[in-house]
Structure 1
């Protein structure tokens, strides 16, 4: 399966709308493709967020009955080489589907996208699950950095820093685009350095806190970079400076 096909089918799989044959093929692809697997995980986080945070509404009283009455009132002639009548049940199903489609589109128009900080926190949290932290395990930057070379259109920074143990890297997805995650350990804390392609330019270091996690952001060398961890924010800022942030 190609990544392009997998990315199209992930949403249907999360909603359990994929037939068994395609589901098996997608599962096999996700087992061997870190980029698509990260996209699948991100979609599942988004789906869970929607289910728990969106307000649910019931149809106004009598609307379902009116929809059914409208659908069953008169048959509809379908123009084709041989005129035929649409069965009443099929017409009702089509009308119901159109209402659902309108509601679905409306939901997405009204739904605010996850903020950058929320995506980064979600990606960090996903990485702490079993077997999700690293795709390439090494404390040698000469091993980790080349691993990204044929997987990304940019070259993420991989630096060995005293007091912060480099343990490897992985591919992730941010804003629907591939990103690098370089992973460090400090004592018992895991630190993710996320690097994603960005417009040229340099921005000064900035910090934020989200869900008990510290984030340190900066932009340089055509990349947006963010450190995320539950470590003391001052230690995270020290690492950012060691990585070249100003």
Structure 2
């Protein structure tokens, strides 16, 4: 269990979403029972929001593009009629001036090229970053695996939906729809609290023979979306949104069986709402 001092030290990183999944879950559970840490988190969260909203934004000036263009080779070509040809006495000085001007332009061009390469390299890194869906899928799989490894599949163990559903009261700010699919071959086994996508979620546990199925539920202001399937590290995942709720399902059962489970679950949820 995380103590009070450890929680205080982790709150700044928690506000900035820099903690690992395990640290986030542990700190979230500590916050549920510690009023002083809740106050500290609220204060630091307010400061963070204020900085994001009030910090000045400095936009690059319009002259920046002009200076970059002027530094490129050939951008300042000299028309033949602009300068008179130097006389013989000035030719030595003219050659020195042209050499210096040429070198100066190439130095500027080199600086611009270096900047452009840095921008291209940074853009490449950005494009290679995982998408929000990929990161969430990784979190879901990590949670599913962790629930099996630490023998913490359920906080409330019950096959009765009337026992599992009220267990969440006061622990999260929404009421998940709990469905019993025992007759269809997917019995309810219990539920627990978890942490995904930056906030607490309800996790419902079902079984298909010896295979556990985790169903993660949380509210979000997103459009309804049909189920999508993907695989991550050998596990099958499906996710969809309906009436302001997000659903993610994870298991190692065969993909067709998981798809059948999701179809049955969605039908029962729709009937219950």
TM-score by length of 1: 0.56
Q: How many residues get paired? A: 160
Matches within 5 A, 1:207-226: 207-226=229-248
Q: CA deviation at 1:34?
A: 8.0
Aligned to 1:244: 266
**1:233 aligns to 2:261 (yes or no):** no
**Equivalent position of 1:118 in the other structure:** 138
Cross-structure match for 1:39: none
**Maintained 8 Å contact 1:35/1:178:** no
Alignment match of 1:144 (pick from 146, 164, 168): 164
Instruction: Report deviation, 1:244.
Output: 1.4
Please list, as runs of the form range in 1=range in 2, the aligned pairs for 1:1-246 lying within 5 A after superposition: 1=4, 5=8, 8=11, 33=29, 112=129, 115-161=135-181, 162=183, 163-244=185-266
Please report how far the alpha carbon of residue 2 of structure 1 lies from its aligned counterpart in structure 2 after TM superposition.
Answer: 10
Indicate conservation of the 8 Å contact 2:214/2:251, yes or no: yes
Q: Which runs of 4+ in 1 moved over 2 A?
A: 1-7, 30-36, 109-114
Verify the 8 A CA contact 2:147 2:153 in the aligned structure 1: yes
The superposition leaves residues 100-129 of structure 1 with CA deviations (integer Å, 9 ceiling, x where unpaired) of xxxxxxxxx979577111111111111102
Alignment CA distance shift 1:199-1:6 (3 Å): farther
* Deviation at residue 201 of structure 1 after TM alignment: 3.1
Richer in strand (by share): 1
CA distance in 2, matches of 1:224, 1:3: 32
Q: Do the aligned residues in 2 keep the contact of 1:195 with 1:225 (CA within 8 Å)?
A: yes
Query: Which secondary structure state, in structure 2, belongs to the residue aligned with residue 128 of structure 1?
Result: helix
Q: Residue in 2 aligned with 1:64? A: none
Q: Where does the alignment leave 5 or more consecutive residues of structure 2 unmatched? A: 15-22, 33-124
Q: Kindly indicate whether the alpha-carbon contact (under 8 Å) linking 2:213 and 2:250 is maintained by their aligned counterparts in 1.
A: yes
How far the C-alpha of 1:203 sits from its partner, in A, is 0.8
RMSD of aligned residue pairs (Cα, Å): 3.5
1:214–1:233 contact (8 Å) kept in structure 2: yes
**TM-score if structure 2 supplies the norm length?**
0.51
Report the Cα offset of residue 152 of structure 1.
1.4
Q: Which has the higher helix share?
A: 2
Greater Rg, structure 1 or structure 2? 2
